[in-house]
Amino acid sequence: MIYPSEVKQLLSDQLPELSNDLDTCQVPEKQVYHTLQCLVSYTGKMAAACYIRKVTQCMQLADRLYEQGNHQVRLAVENVFVFGLDRVINGGSRNHTRLLHALVPISLYTLYVNQHLKPGV
């Protein structure tokens, strides 16, 4: 089980380039949300630069957090990372968008579809 207090360290270990951005939030109750906002922003930058390996790594990290996280971590992934995926995925050409759709793990893609594509949800 991954707890909110562990998310920042996990991302820092896996994506050391995010460490400075992750250190800007000083409010412990909001740390997991800030951390996931940093992750989705970084994912968007990597997608725009066509760094597919980094995008894949970010997606896998978010999926791991969702699959192994406690309730608060899962909610944060859903409400911050998955919500922000729309800007990440739909920011380029049609082929680029298709590729990015294919990189989203199935558990996150299901959440994404429920949030963005189903009417009335």
Given a cut of 90, whether residue 94 has pLDDT beyond it is no
Enumerate residues 6+ apart whose C-beta is below 8 A from 4.
Answer: 31, 32, 70, 72, 73, 76
SS3 state at 25: coil
pTM, rounded to two decimals: 0.90
Query: What is the tens place of the pLDDT at every residue in 22-57?
Result: 888 766 678 899 999 999 999 999 999 999 999 999
Report the distance separating Cα 69 and Cα 51, nearest Å. 26
Answer for the pair 15, 58: CB distance below 8 angstroms, yes or no.
Answer: yes
Given a cut of 80, whether residue 74 has pLDDT beyond it is yes
Q: What is the mean pLDDT of residues 75-103?
A: 90
